[in-house]
Amino acid sequence: MDSTTIRTRRLLTLTTAAVLAFGLSACGGAKSSSASGSSAEPSRSGPVSMEFWGWAPGYDKIVDEWNAAHPNTKVTFKQIPSGGKGGYTQITNALTAGKGPCLAQIEYGTIPSMLTKNAVMDITQYARADMDKYVASSVSASSIGGKIYGVPVDVGPMVLFYRADLFAKYGITKPPATWDEYRADAKKVAAAHPGVKFGTAPMDGNDLAAFSLQTGQSWYSTSGDSWTVSIDNPGTRKVAAYWQDLKDKGLVMNNGNAWDPQFDKAAENGKVLTFVNAAWAAGGLKSDLKNQSGKWKVAPMPTWSSGDTRTSSNGGSATSVLTGCKTPREAEQFAAFLSTDAKAVSTGIGVGGLYPASVAGQNNALLAAGDPYFGGQKVGDLYKASAAKVPTTWTNGPTYQQVETDFTTAIGQGSLPDAVTKVQASTIAAIKKLGLSVNGG
């Protein structure tokens, strides 16, 4: 994955979620009938043509692979900007004009907002039988109220990336297993060299959500047709207070990450030792810090206590069938191919830098081998272990872009705890503007 892609991927939303029903009567799509995929539309006897819109590198190649193997079901791929950079606007505008594609790449956290716009189709009757092929968190992230609105493609299991050479220099004998150990190690490094930062603090709402997910507490819940916003919950307050304390003590960078020029400059000068992020973020190191190959290693994400094994996830998307698609069964078949066909998965890993949501895909040979950049370490084993320990207690909300924007603004103006309080209030107001029932948690 190149540096441009990495910088785009930082906008991807949190991927793990148990998204609950919110009773939207306007939602369209096929009616669920059975797990075997009995069709509500007439059988297609002739050739089928479908359009697929997305932005992930390698998707065009996967479409070519599909077309070569399925001459009677042709898919045409259209490259669009990433969702947050205008892709979703293009999709919804096309649907409104009656010229929308059959399929599109939709980030997990955006599925609820696309559903409120009647943009994604219920594909339960076609997809349910295949859902055991994917890690549980990605299935729940693609589902709302027990109905499936997308076929999982990739996930973002979080780990600790660290400089093994600098750990040795500062006498740190092993990666921190808990956040208390992380803080203790940060203090040790600062005492030896105040100009060196141990890691990076959350920069925006996406980062804060990823760390909050690990606590097992969600920012949203639903009861019947009503949303409850709980961004200002004990778990998130704990996360915000922890990182604010490290920032106030000068132990971590106030901004910067593996794709950020400030992080790159600090890393090149040996001034930062770690960062915590998803498996896909390794591409930022490989593209921006090529000369540090062999110096970086990967360890499990620190946990909140020694007996706690919960990790987190950051980033990923599904392939959704869009409202108005006249061939939803064939569309779901293509989506399943993209996510589970061995060659397609290899293309996604090798070209797109995607970490697969499919269980079999996580055993792909490209992930099982030792990674030269990390000194031959089999980092795929760590990614797989992390993906299996992500809580399924998270619920995505209907105004992701608003939350991301408001957090970025609030963090830039004050402390992390203050930002949590502000965005709690602004999110309630934003959901009310959608005409949905909402309460404060």
CATH number, domain containing residue 14 = 3.40.190.10
Average pLDDT over every residue of 230-247: 97
Domain final position from 352, 369, 387: 387
Residues 150 and 162 in one domain: no
Cα angle 405, 119, 12 (rounded to 5 degrees) comes to: 35
**Residue 434 CB contacts under 8 Å (≥ 6 apart), including other chains:** 116, 398, 399
Compare 393 and 365 and report the one with higher pLDDT.
365
**Residue 291 CB contacts under 8 Å (≥ 6 apart), including other chains:** 268
Residues 64 and 137 in one domain: yes
Residues 414 and 425 in one domain: yes
Domain final position from 369, 387, 405: 387
**What pLDDT does residue 40 have?**
44
* pTM of the predicted model as reported, rounded to 2 decimal places: 0.86
Residues 318 and 288 in one domain: no
Percent of the chain having pLDDT more than 90?
76
**What pLDDT does residue 225 have?**
81
Residues 152 and 295 in one domain: no
Residues 78 and 97 in one domain: yes
Structure tokens at 172: 């740190």
**What pLDDT does residue 140 have?**
84
Instruction: Judge whether 277 and 162 are in contact, CB under 8 Å.
Output: no
* Residue range(s) defining the domain that contains residue 182: 158-312+395-440
Domain final position from 343, 365, 387: 387
Q: What is the pLDDT of residues 201-221, one digit of tens each?
A: 998 998 999 999 999 999 988
CA separation for the pair 267, 376 (Å, rounded):
21
**What pLDDT does residue 45 have?**
57
Closest by CA position to 278, among listed 317, 313, 311, 309: 313
Residues 138 and 228 in one domain: no
Terminal Cα-to-Cα distance of the chain (whole angstroms): 39
Residues 179 and 279 in one domain: yes
Return mean pLDDT, the chain.
Answer: 88
**What pLDDT does residue 51 have?**
98
**What pLDDT does residue 1 have?**
36
Residues 147 and 170 in one domain: no
Residues 24 and 119 in one domain: yes
Residues 268 and 411 in one domain: yes
pLDDT score of 432 more than 80: yes
pLDDT score of 239 more than 90: yes
State the total domains in the chain.
Answer: 2
pLDDT band at residue 254 under the 50/70/90 scheme: confident
**What pLDDT does residue 289 have?**
93
Compare 81 and 14 and report the one with higher pLDDT.
81
pLDDT band at residue 400 under the 50/70/90 scheme: confident
Residues 10 and 93 in one domain: yes
Q: What is the pLDDT of residues 143-177, one digit of tens each?
A: 887 899 999 999 999 999 999 999 999 999 999 99
